[in-house]
Amino acid sequence: KDMIYKNLGNTGLKVSAFSYGGWLTVGGTVKGDPVKDLIKEALDHGVNFFDTAEIYSNGQSEIEMGRVFKELDVDRSQLVVSTKIFFGTGKSDPNQKGLSRKHIIEGTKASLKRLQLDYVDIVFAHRHDAATPMEEIVRGFNYLLDKGFAFAWGTSEWTAQQIQDAIGIADRLGLVGPCVEQPQYSIFHREKFEVEFKPLFDKYKYGTTIWSPLAGGELSGKYLNGIPENSRYKTNPEYYEQKIKELESPEGKKRQDKIRQLGEISKRLGGTGPAALALAWAASNPNVSSVILGATKPEQLKENFEALKLIPKVTDEVRKEIDDLFENAPTP
């Protein structure tokens, strides 16, 4: 196994540089035995961290993951499991979502039941909740830690200011602040991570578990010649309307050509294609604790783990080449 393990922020937890998540896939487009094949593939490559959320396939993602951990008889102490609370499970009751103390606690208990686990390692606030005072949010998550329902808590798609506020309030109350953010980050989506979050990394060693590292699959180059059957743009078009429309536009064509060129750089460095380099680019960023992979087939995971070999090859020169190709490096 050539997996690398990184520190998850300041928690002492070690997470695999590549992890596996279940949005749209586990319990959605993938159910039953194929989920086991995917999780087994990930474990075989040294993945120790798995990410899900109460909202993923309305709870089915947690159910499928939990079932597979049981069936594979994985040693709990070797696993780092996270779930995310905020969106509920698709129910419309106003109290079955958000970050009230009620939903933080009830939602997490329900997630644990679906996962068949006594605790998750990390519980994320899946979004910020402006309707709940920050002190209440901090106290809600600390209750989970005190009860042993989770070991650490984090944020997802919060602003740097909101994260600083939560840490400040936790400090003032002698409570535990959030220690990890789950943000979108890829070659196509850099600004917030690299600029807004920089002080969090410098000041708190804030951890990150990044999502959509392939921009939903686009950076694998799978959409270079149209939309293949069974691909995410076909199975879940509602999330990619804009991207699908853009594929036919001059802008979109230009972007696909850049992805093709990224594939050429990857091959020059010994990689299999654009996915491996896009993933190595993200994983080699010291402020990224774990790159969450999505995959519907074990072969995709296999290809994506090739990125591990490319990590040492992502030198400053290669980063510069990628900056010049995509022309979107944020100005610090």
Shortest distance, position 317 Cβ to ligand NDP, whole Å:
25
Rg (CA), the chain: 19
* H or E stretch covering 216: none
Task: Of 272, 276, 258, give the one whose Cα is nearest residue 321.
Answer: 258
Q: Which is nearer to ligand NDP, 198 or 297 (CB)?
A: 297
Core vs surface per residue 84-100: b (16+ CB within 10 A) or e: bbbbbbeeeeeebbbbb
Interface residues with ligand NDP (CB under 6 A)? 21-23, 25, 29, 51, 156-157, 182, 211-217, 220, 222, 231-232, 235, 275, 292-296, 300, 303-304
Q: How far is CA 218 from CA 186, 222, 247, in A?
A: 11, 6, 10
Q: Which is nearer to ligand NDP, 135 or 261 (CB)?
A: 261
Q: Which is nearer to ligand NDP, 32 or 168 (CB)?
A: 32
Q: Which is nearer to ligand NDP, 11 or 61 (CB)?
A: 61
Q: Which is nearer to ligand NDP, 31 or 135 (CB)?
A: 31
Shortest distance, position 122 Cβ to ligand NDP, whole Å:
12
Shortest distance, position 128 Cβ to ligand NDP, whole Å:
12
Burial class of residue 177 (count of CB atoms within 10 Å of its CB; 0-12, 13-18, 19+)? buried
Shortest distance, position 272 Cβ to ligand NDP, whole Å:
8
Tell me whether strands 180-181 and 207-210 are parallel, antiparallel or unpaired. Answer: parallel
Helix (H, G, I), strand (E, B) or coil at 84: strand
- The answer to whether the CB of 53 falls within 8 A of the CB of 84 is yes
DSSP string, 94-105: TTSSSSSHHHHH
User: No. of H helices and E strands in the chain?
Assistant: 14, 10
Q: Which is nearer to ligand NDP, 175 or 297 (CB)?
A: 297
Shortest distance, position 18 Cβ to ligand NDP, whole Å:
10
Measure the N-to-C terminal CA separation of the chain; round to a whole number of Å. 36
Catalytically active residues, by annotation: 56
Shortest distance, position 82 Cβ to ligand NDP, whole Å:
8
User: Where are the alpha helices (H) located in 72-204, listed in sequence order?
Assistant: 101-115, 134-146, 160-173, 191, 198-204
